[in-house]
Amino acid sequence: MAEPSVLAVFAHPDDESLSAGGLLARASAAGARTAVVTATWAEDSVRAPELAEALRILGAGDPRLLGYADALVPESAPGSPRLLDAPLDDVVRRLVAHIREFRPDIVVTHDAYGGMTGHADHLLTYRATVLAAQAAGLEQLYPDAGAPWEPSALYLATHPDSVVPALRELIGARRAVYSVPDEQITERLDVTPWLEAKIAAILAHRSEVARGAVPGLVAALPPETRGSMLATEWFIRCTPGPAATAEIVR
């Protein structure tokens, strides 16, 4: 059986590496088609080549940038609306076009909290992706966005409650963090064999390393601590429709 193809949809450059870098590297190494759609930052921005390098490391193809502006960084996409200000229907339509063009078995995105930080861009990306995963298979919706395609499963990248204390100790409790009850986790993916690629992809986001964002925190950790922080990825499996099952772990 062929390895299921994966399309990841995340809000910012670096979210793909932090939240699902191990999954993407694992799938690519197994011969699956993989790709990443990034909702914010423009193709001519400083973070676009960093994203391209991270995706090269993960084997996830070329960047697919929607080009909206980051909620907190207007210069991320001069002349374009913030993702939060864009009509939701427009964002969904564009994601449907990517799903129908790439035809993935699995779509991966943020969880309903928008990940541990609850970032507003993450929340909007989650909502738009859930809608797009459902709409992509319905031929009467967005007929100009390509032939219908229904992914077999939607996975939400998340963190269980039980790991939060250790993560707070490692990266510091600078703000509120969001997590889900452990029993809601459907997939715990050990990405140890692909950890080197995942870390390299995170560190490829050099501007985030320099400003002390999460990639910078990763860069500052000892190698063994990086492993304990990044060697597991957690997901909640959803089904956008009645298509055949695609499993993230085999």
Domains in the chain: how many in total? 1
Annotate 144-181 with b (16+ C-beta within 10 A) or e (fewer). ebbebebbbbbbbbbbbeebeeebeeebeeeeebbbbe
Q: Per the domain annotation, does 249 fall within a domain?
A: no
Tell me the C-alpha distance between 124 and 249, whole Å: 27
Q: What is the largest CA-CA distance in the chain?
A: 53
- Please tell me the predicted confidence (pLDDT) of residue 2: 79
Tell me the C-alpha distance between 7 and 95, whole Å: 11
Of 134, 191, 200, nearest in space to 157 by CA:
191
Q: Per the domain annotation, does 245 fall within a domain?
A: no
Tell me the C-alpha distance between 167 and 136, whole Å: 36
Q: Per the domain annotation, does 73 fall within a domain?
A: yes
pTM, 2 dp: 0.95
Query: pLDDT digits over 33-71, tens only?
Result: 999 999 999 999 999 999 999 999 999 999 999 999 999
Q: Phi then psi for 149, rounded to 5 degrees?
A: -150, 125
Q: Per the domain annotation, does 160 fall within a domain?
A: yes
Instruction: Return the CATH number at 207.
Output: 3.40.50.10320
178 in Cβ contact with 161 (< 8 Å): no
- Please tell me the predicted confidence (pLDDT) of residue 245: 58
Of 205, 248, 163, nearest in space to 50 by CA:
205
Q: Per the domain annotation, does 1 fall within a domain?
A: no
- Please tell me the predicted confidence (pLDDT) of residue 108: 98
Q: Per the domain annotation, does 27 fall within a domain?
A: yes
- Please tell me the predicted confidence (pLDDT) of residue 233: 98
The one-character DSSP state at 77 is S
The two structure tokens encoding residue 95: 């994601």
Q: Which domain holds residue 33?
A: 6-238
Q: Per the domain annotation, does 247 fall within a domain?
A: no
141 in Cβ contact with 96 (< 8 Å): yes
7 Rama sector, left if φ>0, alpha if ψ -120 to 50, beta otherwise: beta
Tell me the C-alpha distance between 229 and 225, whole Å: 6
Q: Which residues, other chains included, contact 223 with Cβ-Cβ below 8 Å and sequence gap of 6+? A: none
Give me the residues paired with residue 106 across strands.
6, 153
- Please tell me the predicted confidence (pLDDT) of residue 244: 47
Q: Per the domain annotation, does 223 fall within a domain?
A: yes
pLDDT in tens, the chain (250 residues): 678 999 999 999 999 999 999 999 999 999 999 999 999 999 999 999 999 999 999 999 999 999 999 999 989 999 999 999 999 999 999 999 999 999 999 999 999 999 998 999 999 999 999 999 999 999 999 999 999 999 999 999 999 999 998 887 766 656 678 999 999 999 999 999 999 999 999 999 999 999 999 999 899 999 888 988 999 999 999 976 554 456 776 6
